[in-house]
Amino acid sequence: MATINDNYLKLKAGYLFPEIARRVNAFAQANADAKIIKLGIGDVTEPLPQACVRAMIQATQEMGDRETFKGYGPEQGYAWLREKIAHHDFQARGCEIDPDEIFISDGSKCDTGNILEIFGNNNTIAVTDPVYPVYVDTNVMAGNTGDANKNGEYEGLVYLPITAENNFTAQIPNEKVDLIYLCFPNNPTGATASKEDLQAWVDYAQANNSIIFFDAAYEAYITDSSLPHSIYEIEGARDCAIEFRSFSKNAGFTGTRCALTVVPKTLTAKAEDGSDVELWKLWNRRQSTKFNGVSYIVQRGAEAVYSQEGKEQIQQLVSFYLENAKIIREQLTAAGLQVHGGVNAPYVWVKTPNQLSSWDFFDKLLNTCNVVGTPGSGFGAAGEGYFRISAFNSRKNVEEAMKRITEKFKV
**Among positions 24, 37, 42, 130, the unique one binding ligand MLT when judged by CB under 6 A:** 42
At closest approach, how far in Å is the CB of 134 from ligand MLT? 7
Specify the residue, 232 or 247, whose C-beta has the smaller distance to ligand MLT.
247
User: Which residues share a beta bridge with 361?
Assistant: none
Question: By CB under 6 A, is residue 43 in contact with ligand MLT?
Answer: yes
- Does 187 interact with ligand MLT (rule: CB under 6 A)? yes
Nearest CB to ligand MLT, comparing residues 42 and 375: 42
CB 215 within 8 A of CB 108: yes
Smallest distance from the beta carbon of 411 to ligand MLT, in angstroms? 26
Kindly state the smallest distance separating residue 42's Cβ from ligand MLT, in Å.
Answer: 3
CA separation for the pair 87, 96 (Å, rounded): 10
Total residues binding ligand MLT (CB under 6 A): 6
Distance CA 327, CA 286 (A): 44
Residue 374 CB, shortest distance to ligand MLT, in Å, is: 7
Nearer to ligand MLT, 41 or 148 (CB): 41
With contacts defined by CB under 6 A, name the span among 22-30, 37-45, 192-200, 326-334 that binds ligand MLT.
Answer: 37-45
Q: Which of 38, 82, 84, 109 binds ligand MLT (CB under 6 A)?
A: 109
Does residue 142 interact with ligand MLT by CB under 6 A?
no
Contact (Cβ atoms closer than 8 angstroms) between residue 357 and residue 385: yes
> What is the Cα–Cα distance from 62 to 225, expressed in whole angstroms?
40
- Determine the interface stretch with ligand MLT among 1-9, 39-47, 192-200, 398-406 (rule: CB under 6 A): 39-47
**Cα separation values, 289 from 73, 104, 269, 284, 285, Å:** 14, 15, 21, 8, 6
Q: Is 41 near ligand MLT (CB under 6 A)?
A: yes
Contact 301, 50 (CB under 8 A): no
**H or E segment to which residue 183 belongs:** strand 179-183
* Smallest gap from residue 314 Cβ to ligand MLT (A): 17
Looking at beta carbons only, is 21 or 41 nearer to ligand MLT? 41
Phi and psi at residue 261, in whole multiples of 5°?
A: -125, 135
Residue 177 or 372 with smaller CB distance to ligand MLT? 372
The three-class DSSP label of residue 263 is coil
| Smallest separation, CB 348 to ligand MLT (Å) | 13
**End-to-end Cα, the chain, rounded Å:** 59
Beta bridge partner(s), residue 183: 215
Binding region for ligand MLT (CB under 6 A) out of 35-43, 164-172, 276-284, 335-343 = 35-43
- Within 44-63, the residues that bind ligand MLT by CB under 6 A are none
- For ligand MLT, the closer of residues 347 and 409 by Cβ is 347
Write the DSSP symbol of residue 103. Answer: E
| Shortest distance, position 246 Cβ to ligand MLT, whole Å | 7
Ranges of beta strands (E only) in 233-308 are: 241-246, 259-262, 268-270, 276-278
Q: How far is the CB of 185 from ligand MLT (least distance, A)?
A: 12
Decide: is 130 part of the binding site for ligand MLT (CB under 6 A): no
Q: How many helices (H) and strands (E) does the chain have?
A: 12, 15
Do 90 and 97 contact (CB within 8 A), yes or no? Answer: yes
For residue 74, is the peptide bond before it cis, meaning its omega torsion is within 30 degrees of 0? no
Q: Which region, judged by CB under 6 A, interacts with ligand MLT, from 40-48, 73-81, 122-130, 355-363?
A: 40-48
Q: What does the alpha-carbon distance between residue 41 and residue 35 come to, in Å, rounded to a whole number?
A: 17
Which residues lie closer than 8 Å to 3 by C-beta, 6 or more apart? none
State how far the Cα of 15 lies from the Cα of 22, in Å rounded to an integer: 11
* Binding characters for ligand MLT, 304-333, by CB under 6 A (x = yes): ------------------------------
Question: Whose CB is nearest to ligand MLT?
Answer: 42
Do residues 286 and 69 touch, judged by C-beta distance below 8 A?
no
383 binds ligand MLT (CB under 6 A): no
Interface ranges with ligand MLT (CB under 6 A): 41-43, 109, 132, 187
